[in-house]
């Protein structure tokens, strides 16, 4: 299998795209015609650029509106093809990709199209070239791979082959079984693209929403299984048209592409017990059983405020780091590390971002295996010097330059609290009933959302939930959860295109993407809220109207609603399952805590989010001097 990526996937100029593609360790590239037309140099210059970086141009595309044209257009189309062969010769590319005709002038008929392709094959072969035919899902006469294959079959020419594009095949829900009987040597190119499930016309869906395999909802694995059944071992290339990719980081999107292919082929290997040659076997996805700790980077000033909040929430100072200005705060199964050291990663993070979460540690089944997998997925490993006798906890770089640590039992990494910390005796410790980290909510730039989705989903054994649009007073926030089947790990990714949402404002405050809030779980929200109040914790006030509505919307008694109202507790229900949420007021840095109680409930209270966001926005406006 030779993998490649189309230049159309990436932002930037042709030069930037080619450099990013080479840096992401691709060996092949599809040159999208517009990238060549806008390149300030000859095709031979482009060839030097491409080949100079060790890349090969696997195809030049698209050649449009070719088959089934009546005269005089037909002759013109062939003349145009000859000109493109000239360009390809200079470019060093031997495969022209032709997509099915969309012109209203084109005539239907498989036989007519096959005759056109036979002639094009003759012309290509004379120059040592080949042509490959793709059925666009919105093609005028040909929009089904079974028809494009019939055209190729009847063209009956060694220089004429088929393109299978997973988007066009899967978007239409075409039966995949016919792929099994296509001779693999007639499949000249496979283009891979996933997409979210959207109800819209094929063209708009394809041109704006495609994404890398695994980032969307299409049954990519079914497609790969039938392709595998043909014995296909040829060119497999990513072809993504996506507005976010066009605005995103050229380099990181190229790496995402490579990462998506590595995972997709490894999954194929796992399902089939074998894979096409040259496909590397990865360690399995990490089984994550929870969050071991959350680490805050603070300075001398902010440490006081944070520790005050932590005590208010019922945390106890449980350990002092043996060699650094770092403390462990603990309650139930939750560990919060407060890092005020003047050296090292947390300090640098604090200088750049202010008081913020600089690291997250996950409990996994096999920490060395997880970092091994991360390495194969082109994640960025992280190392910093450790003190004598201290534990070296493996980590990779995560969102916004923060760290993601992995702790396991197998390697003894879970002994870190005894090894690295001097315990502080707990005398009269009474917590607030907080048990575990329920979920962690991260805000990021809109263009990065698919990057981090893939980052987590490629490394960890998690599933993603459908994207929700949440209404903030300043705009719409896209929100997506990534979770383990048992809910031991729940991460929320948030992003918005508006600059005025709290999510975007947090990014500005933090100077980057990061964790905006952590939800902690209790088994008794009412008792926890009582304890927090007694400790003077300021909770986010919720408007009266919300509780009035709860009285009529649910069958909760007036007393029940009164209790919710008194505690500023939000409530949601899914069938018989119930969810309770309460929020601390937002800290200076834009960060806040949430406390939740789940009674069989699996969601995140999406219907309450606009109420909470409006309250937070109102409070933020009151706190900001008007400037008048």
Ligand X SMILES: O=C(O)c1ccc(O)c(O)c1
Q: Output 191 or 522, the one with its CB closest to Mg ion.
A: 191
Strand 187-192 and strand 160-165: the pairing is parallel
Site for Mg ion in 238-277 (CB under 5 A): 239
The 3-class secondary structure across 250-284, one letter per residue, is: HHHHHHHHHHHHHHHHHHHHHHHCCCCCCCCCCCC
- Decide if residue 239 touches ligand X (CB under 6 A): yes
- Decide if residue 126 touches ligand X (CB under 6 A): no
* Residue 62 binds which entry of Mg ion, ligand X, none, CB below 5-8 Å type-dependent: ligand X
The total of other beta-carbon atoms located within 10 Å of residue 242's CB is 25
Q: Under rule CB under 6 A, how many of the chain's residues touch ligand X?
A: 10
Q: Which of 81, 83, 156, 59 is nearest to 113 (CA)?
A: 156
Token pair belonging to 222: 């079914």
**Stated length of the chain:** 628
**Contact with ligand X (CB under 6 A): which of 207, 410, 415, 463?**
207
Provide CB contacts within 8 A for 208, sequence distance 6+: 241, 242, 243
Residue carrying structure tokens 């048992």: 486
Q: How far is the CB of 235 from ligand X (least distance, A)?
A: 13
Q: How far is the CB of 8 from Mg ion (least distance, A)?
A: 9
Strand 577-583 and strand 28-32: the pairing is unpaired
- Decide if residue 166 touches ligand X (CB under 6 A): no
d(CA 237, CA 259): 13
* Residue 207 binds which entry of Mg ion, ligand X, none, CB below 5-8 Å type-dependent: ligand X
Q: Under rule CB under 5 A, how many of the chain's residues touch Mg ion?
A: 3
191 is known to lie in a ligand binding site: yes
Q: How far is the CB of 161 from Mg ion (least distance, A)?
A: 14
594 is known to lie in a ligand binding site: yes
Q: Exposed, middle or buried: residue 291 (CB in 10 Å: 0-12, 13-18, 19+)?
A: buried
Half-sphere exposure of 265 (CA within 13 A, CB side): 25
d(CA 100, CA 148): 8
Residue carrying structure tokens 């980077």: 297
Q: Output 19 or 165, the one with its CB closest to Mg ion.
A: 165
* Residue 206 binds which entry of ligand X, Mg ion, none, CB below 5-8 Å type-dependent: ligand X
d(CA 138, CA 420): 61
Q: How far is the CB of 136 from Mg ion (least distance, A)?
A: 7
Site for ligand X in 258-277 (CB under 6 A): none
Token pair belonging to 116: 């056109």
Q: Output 96 or 361, the one with its CB closest to ligand X.
A: 96
Number of residue whose CB is nearest ligand X: 62
165 is known to lie in a ligand binding site: yes
Q: Determine the 3-state secondary structure of 271 from DSSP.
A: helix
Q: Output 61 or 458, the one with its CB closest to ligand X.
A: 61
300 is known to lie in a ligand binding site: no
- Decide if residue 134 touches ligand X (CB under 6 A): yes
- Decide if residue 191 touches Mg ion (CB under 5 A): yes
* Residue 136 binds which entry of Mg ion, ligand X, none, CB below 5-8 Å type-dependent: ligand X
Q: How far is the CB of 61 from Mg ion (least distance, A)?
A: 8
- Decide if residue 120 touches ligand X (CB under 6 A): no
- Decide if residue 165 touches Mg ion (CB under 5 A): yes
Site for ligand X in 277-296 (CB under 6 A): none
Q: Are 485 and 458 in contact (CB under 8 A)?
A: no
Q: Which helix (H) or strand (E) holds 565?
A: helix 558-567
- Decide if residue 144 touches ligand X (CB under 6 A): no
**Angle, alpha carbons 425-426-429 (nearest 5°):** 165
Cis peptide before 62 (omega within 30 of 0): yes
d(CA 440, CA 456): 13
Q: Output 136 or 440, the one with its CB closest to ligand X.
A: 136
Q: How far is the CB of 92 from Mg ion (least distance, A)?
A: 21
d(CA 443, CA 555): 35
Q: Are 595 and 522 in contact (CB under 8 A)?
A: yes
DSSP percent split of the chain into helix, strand, coil, nearest 5:
40, 25, 35
**Contact with ligand X (CB under 6 A): which of 144, 165, 438, 597?**
165
- Decide if residue 215 touches Mg ion (CB under 5 A): no
**Contact with ligand X (CB under 6 A): which of 57, 101, 206, 242?**
206
Q: Which helix (H) or strand (E) holds 49?
A: helix 43-52
Site for ligand X in 24-83 (CB under 6 A): 61-62
Mark 538-564 as b/e (b = at least 16 C-beta within 10 Å): ebbebeeebbeebbeeeebeeeebeeb
448 is known to lie in a ligand binding site: no
Q: Output 61 or 249, the one with its CB closest to ligand X.
A: 61
Q: Are 501 and 620 in contact (CB under 8 A)?
A: no
Q: Output 162 or 407, the one with its CB closest to ligand X.
A: 162
Q: How far is the CB of 228 from Mg ion (least distance, A)?
A: 20
d(CA 543, CA 613): 12
Q: Output 88 or 298, the one with its CB closest to Mg ion.
A: 88
Q: How far is the CB of 265 from Mg ion (least distance, A)?
A: 19
Q: In this chain, which stretch among 85-93, 183-191, 212-220, 423-431 interacts with Mg ion, using CB under 5 A?
A: 183-191
Q: Output 206 or 586, the one with its CB closest to ligand X.
A: 206
Q: Output 168 or 373, the one with its CB closest to ligand X.
A: 168
Site for ligand X in 531-560 (CB under 6 A): none
Q: 525-534 and 558-567 are packed helices; what angle lies between their axes, rounded to 10 degrees? A: 40
Residues annotated in the binding site for Mg(2+), as ranges? 439, 517, 594
Instruction: Tell me which residues touch ligand X (CB under 6 A).
Output: 61-62, 99, 134, 136, 165, 191, 206-207, 239
Residues annotated in the binding site, as ranges? 134, 165, 191, 239, 439, 517, 594
Instruction: Tell me which residues touch Mg ion (CB under 5 A).
Output: 165, 191, 239
């Amino acid at each position: 299998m030779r993998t490649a990526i189309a230049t159309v996937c990436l932002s930037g100029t042709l030069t930037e795209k080619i450099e990013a593609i080479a840096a992401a360790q691709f060996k092949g590239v599809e040159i999208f015609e517009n990238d060549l037309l806008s390149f300030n140099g000859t095709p031979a210059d482009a060839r030097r650029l491409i080949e100079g970086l060790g890349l090969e141009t696997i195809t030049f595309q698209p050649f449009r509106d070719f088959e089934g044209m009546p005269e005089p257009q037909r002759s013109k189309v062939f003349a145009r093809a000859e000109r493109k062969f000239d360009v390809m010769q200079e470019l060093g590319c031997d495969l022209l990709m032709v997509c099915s005709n969309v012109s209203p002038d084109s005539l239907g008929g498989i036989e007519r199209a096959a005759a056109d392709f036979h002639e094009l094959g003759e012309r290509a072969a004379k120059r040592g070239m080949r042509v490959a035919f793709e059925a666009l899902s919105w093609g005028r006469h040909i929009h089904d791979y079974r028809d494009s294959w019939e055209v190729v079959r009847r063209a009956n020419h060694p220089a004429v082959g088929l393109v299978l594009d997973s988007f066009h095949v899967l978007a239409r829900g075409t039966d995949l079984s016919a792929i099994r009987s296509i001779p693999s040597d007639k499949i000249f190119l496979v283009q891979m693209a996933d997409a979210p499930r959207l109800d819209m016309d094929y063209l708009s869906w394809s041109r704006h929403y495609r994404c890398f395999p695994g980032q969307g909802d299409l049954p990519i694995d079914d497609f790969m299984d039938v392709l595998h059944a043909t014995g296909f071992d040829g060119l497999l290339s990513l072809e993504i048209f996506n507005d976010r990719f066009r605005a995103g980081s050229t380099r990181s999107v190229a790496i995402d592409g490579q990462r998506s292919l590595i995972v997709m082929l490894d999954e194929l290997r796992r399902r089939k017990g074998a894979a096409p040659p040259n496909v590397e076997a990865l360690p399995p996805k990490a089984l994550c059983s929870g969050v071991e700790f959350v680490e805050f980077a603070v300075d001398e000033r902010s440490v006081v405020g944070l520790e005050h909040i932590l005590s208010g929430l019922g945390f106890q100072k449980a350990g002092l780091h043996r060699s650094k200005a770092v403390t462990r705060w603990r309650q139930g199964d939750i560990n919060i590390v407060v890092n005020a050291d003047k050296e090292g990663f947390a300090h640098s993070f604090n200088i750049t971002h202010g008081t913020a979460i600089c690291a997250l540690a996950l409990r996994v089944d096999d920490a060395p295996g997880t970092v091994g997998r991360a390495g194969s997925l082109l994640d960025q490993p992280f190392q910093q010097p450790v003190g004598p006798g201290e534990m070296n906890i493996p980590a990779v770089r995560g969102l916004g330059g923060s760290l993601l640590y992995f702790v396991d039992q197998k390697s003894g990494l879970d002994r870190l609290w005894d090894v690295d910390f001097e315990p502080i005796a707990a005398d009269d410790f009474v917590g607030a009933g907080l048990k575990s980290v329920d979920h962690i909510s991260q805000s990021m730039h809109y263009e990065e959302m698919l990057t981090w989705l893939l980052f987590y989903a490629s490394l960890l054994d998690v599933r993603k939930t459908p994207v929700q649009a949440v209404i903030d007073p300043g705009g719409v926030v896209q929100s997506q959860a990534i979770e383990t089947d048992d809910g031991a790990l729940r991460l929320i990714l948030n992003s918005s295109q508006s600059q005025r949402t709290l999510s975007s404002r947090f990014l500005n405050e933090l100077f980057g993407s990061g964790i905006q809030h952590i939800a902690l779980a209790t088994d008794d929200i009412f008792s926890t809220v009582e304890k927090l109040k007694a400790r003077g914790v300021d909770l986010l006030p919720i408007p009266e109207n919300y509780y009035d509505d709860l009285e009529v919307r649910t069958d909760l008694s007036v007393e029940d609603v009164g209790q919710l109202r008194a505690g500023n507790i939000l409530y949601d229900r899914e069938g018989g399952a119930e969810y309770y949420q309460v929020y601390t007021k937002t800290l200076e840095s834009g960060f806040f805590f949430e406390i939740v109680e789940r009674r069989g409930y699996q969601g995140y209270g999406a219907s309450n989010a606009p109420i909470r966001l409006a309250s937070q926005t109102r409070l933020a406006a009151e706190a900001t001097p008007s400037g008048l």
